[in-house]
Structures are given as C-alpha cells and as structure tokens.
Structure 1
C-alpha cells in the first residue's frame, strides 16, 4: 500500500468543517448474484479508482483522511472503506488499491473470522477473512477497524451485548493485530445516541455510519455507497450531492 496508517487527532481539538467524502464498499469479486448490491468487480473498482486519480484525488484510510484534515490538508483525499471483512479483499481489492496507489480502511468482525455473511438471508454465502488474513491486510498497510463482533443492529442490543460488540471487539482486534483499532463501523449503518456513546466510551477515535442525520460528527461520519453501476457520471453526481446534502461535521476542518 502507498500510505501508512495514521491515527486521527482527538476530535475535540478540531474545528467545524465540511463533511469529508468517504466511500463505502463491501465485497470485490463476482457480482452476478448480488441481491444486496454489496459487490463490485475488480475491473469496476479499478475504473472507479482511476476516475479519482484522474481528478487529482487519492483514496486513503479514514484514519489518514482525518489526520490530514486535522493538519488543514487533505482536500485531495477520499476515504475508502470496505465493510464486513470479506476474504476477497486480499485477492481482488488489495491489488487494485496498490495499482492506483490508494489505501483503505477494512472494517472486520472478530467474532466471525473465517466464517461467512450469515446475517444476509438472501444471496450467496461469502467467506470472511481468517485471523491470518486480517493480519496480512494490516501488514500490507490497510487500516483495520471494527465492525462489531457479529454484525448485529446495535440499536436493538441490550447493554451487555452492546459492550461486547463495541469494547469487546476492540479488545479482540488489539489482541489480533497488536494495536487497538481507531475506527468503528456501525453494522447496517444504524446508530442512535446510546450506541454512539458506547462507541465513544470504548475508546474509538471515530466511527462510520451511512446517513446519521443530526448525530453527524466524528463518531457518526456519513458515507456514500459505491456499487457496480457507479460509472463516472454517477460518481461525479454522488460526490457533488454528498457535500450539498450532508451536515457540516463538528470537529473537522
């Protein structure tokens, strides 16, 4: 990977600023059977990253993006995130990222390592990275973040389950990789004030959602879904609309 993982500065030290553009990917591979639209082919990913680079933009991890914004830089950076920790990340996504000199954040589920996407009732079973696969991704310069332990809607979890999915998953990933993850990603993108505070209390520097509305901030960063049908025109419109629709983020330049 082209960039080392950086830790974002403490959120309270940063002023209010425009919402950063963070792209949300999942699986990279065969998308012929993809009812949830979570898969892009390696060729489509390459075309999308090429579109960024031709416009002077570069995809980076969320930690690197936030650290750059804290320095008053980062206007040419786009956050790239891959949810769920699919095994195809190593074989199909990482080589494309390397080719375009991009980095990314990979949100994994330490309670499902070596399993599959059992939470999806429809569509094919997709294998998830093993513990060794997560370590290999980290060694390649990918930022490893938590997606919870088992991919449950945290807004419906009791206090014990919420603690396990947030603080417990952070401890598990620290044991796995040797470093505590800076970032968290809410499964299904769902977050409320109680869940946000649990993530903050667990020690995460930031967290990614999808469209958190009034909760938007360093622990509820909005993202843009990027899929197989996102061509150059659609990417242009998504980037433009993201800044028009999203609330400014307290704590970011």
Structure 2
C-alpha cells in the first residue's frame, strides 16, 4: 500500500516515499524474483492458481506524482499497479490531509494516461470521506457515481474499490458489492479477509530491505498470503 512518491521535507502522515527509496524497493522485489502487478492481475492469476511470485502494488488517493515519479519506475521494471482515484477531486488537492502538505491530485487527462500505460484504475470514492457517516442512499450514489466516472476515463469497467481511511463494516462492504465492484482493499482495521476486505501492508519511506523482510513475514503470519 503506497500513496505518494515524491521528494519532500515534511510528511506528518508518512504517506510519501522518496523516488530513490521507491526505486530501491522495486529493485528489492526484482532481486527476489517477484513482480509487482495490479490487483486486477493478481486476483485473476490467483483464481487460476498462477499467482506465485506476484505482489499486488496499490497507490491510494490518486496523487499526480504517480505520473511523474512512480509510473516511469514501474515501467522500467516491467511492473504494473492499481491507482485508487478520488473521482470527485480530479485535478484538486488532498484537502483531507489537513494540516499536512498539499499534494496535487491526478487530472482526468492523467487518469487516461495512467490507464493507457497499462495500470489499473480503481475507485477511492467520489470524495475522500468516512463511508460509515453516509446514509444508505448517499452511500450508494457515492459508490456508483465514482465507478461510472472512472470507468469512462479508464476506457473499461472499474472493478476495484479502496475504502477511504480504511473504514469498512458489513454495511459498507455490502454496498460496494451492490455497486458492482468485484473486490475492495482495506487498511488499518482488523477485518475478516475476503474479496471485499483484502488486507494490505503499508510501505513507507523508512522501509529498507530488513524492514521489508519483516513486513513480508508479518503479513504471511497474519493472512497466509503474499502482501498486496
């Protein structure tokens, strides 16, 4: 689970990875015979029993630096990834990270560019809000409108969702399924693992090879799976 890849001075929420660290992390995967892939590809390969050595790479929030920093590095290594985009904030800023540093979000044109480069576009909602705080009608509209808008930009169906803030309970997972999503990624909460609550491992700027080894081992112990 990544967020932003960018040079920085201040990052109170620890969502940013420096480009050189990101490059080192991708090299670490490559050296160990692993290939980073989108969630769409990972789940497809898993269904057929051919997911060995694959690691799902996800980027939450849809930061514009994915195009300038993350995408070129992924392409160099022959990797793909899933970018979870906030559909109602295209070309805007990460206003939910107050008082953290402002980061520009992907524009509609950049979302098309990312999809054309072979990356998967997923939904991070219409707005970056806590889903449990929405009423039933508002929740359904939030999920459907974001999926429709992003499908139009991606040039194909958007089948993946990521819960803002990791907020997901039975009501939210049921609504995600009803909106037509095939899978959803969770974070930060202990939830029963399933296609609508896929567990992920946070990767940050401090994650050197020893820490990555530790996170791989911890993820295997808690989920029995290779990290996504």
TM-score class normalised by the smaller sequence: over 0.9
User: Contact (CA 8 Å) 1:185, 1:208: kept in 2 or not?
Assistant: yes
How far does residue 75 in structure 1 lie from its aligned partner after superposition? 1.2
1:113 aligns with 2:90: yes
Map of 2:73 onto structure 1: 96
Residue deviations 1:14-62, cap 9 Å, x none? Answer: xxxxxxxxxx000110232111000001111110011111111010000
- C-alpha distance in 1 between matches for 2:138 and 2:15: 26
User: Contact (CA 8 Å) 1:149, 1:169: kept in 2 or not?
Assistant: yes
1:170 aligns with 2:147: yes
- C-alpha distance in 1 between matches for 2:153 and 2:10: 32
State the secondary structure of the residue aligned to 1:215: coil
Alignment of 1:33-112 (within 5 A): 33-112=10-89
Q: Of 92, 116, 128, which residue of structure 2 is paired with 1:151? A: 128
Map of 1:220 onto structure 2: 197
State the secondary structure of the residue aligned to 1:65: helix
How far does residue 247 in structure 1 lie from its aligned partner after superposition? 6.7
Map of 1:237 onto structure 2: 214
The structure whose RCO (Cα within 8 Å, separation 6+) is larger is: 1
State the secondary structure of the residue aligned to 2:110: helix
State the secondary structure of the residue aligned to 1:179: coil
- C-alpha distance in 2 between matches for 1:181 and 1:148: 12
Size of the alignment, in residue pairs?
Answer: 225
Q: Of 136, 159, 171, which residue of structure 1 is paired with 2:113? A: 136
User: Contact (CA 8 Å) 1:213, 1:247: kept in 2 or not?
Assistant: no
User: Contact (CA 8 Å) 2:38, 2:120: kept in 1 or not?
Assistant: yes
State the secondary structure of the residue aligned to 2:40: helix
Normalising to structure 1: TM-score of the pair?
0.86
Map of 1:122 onto structure 2: 99
5+ residue gaps, structure 1: 1-23, 249-253
How far does residue 211 in structure 1 lie from its aligned partner after superposition? 4.5
How far does residue 166 in structure 1 lie from its aligned partner after superposition? 1.1
Q: Of 192, 202, 205, which residue of structure 1 is paired with 2:169? A: 192
User: Contact (CA 8 Å) 1:192, 1:215: kept in 2 or not?
Assistant: no
State the Cα RMSD in Å: 1.2
Map of 1:19 onto structure 2: none
- C-alpha distance in 2 between matches for 1:159 and 1:232: 44
User: Contact (CA 8 Å) 1:151, 1:187: kept in 2 or not?
Assistant: yes
User: Contact (CA 8 Å) 2:4, 2:59: kept in 1 or not?
Assistant: yes
How far does residue 73 in structure 1 lie from its aligned partner after superposition? 1.0
User: Contact (CA 8 Å) 1:212, 1:221: kept in 2 or not?
Assistant: no
How far does residue 174 in structure 1 lie from its aligned partner after superposition? 1.7
Residue deviations 1:123-171, cap 9 Å, x none? Answer: 1110001000100000000100000011101112111221122111111
1:160 aligns with 2:137: yes
Map of 1:8 onto structure 2: none
Map of 1:203 onto structure 2: 180
How far does residue 175 in structure 1 lie from its aligned partner after superposition? 2.2
Q: Which runs of 4+ in 1 moved over 6 A?
A: none
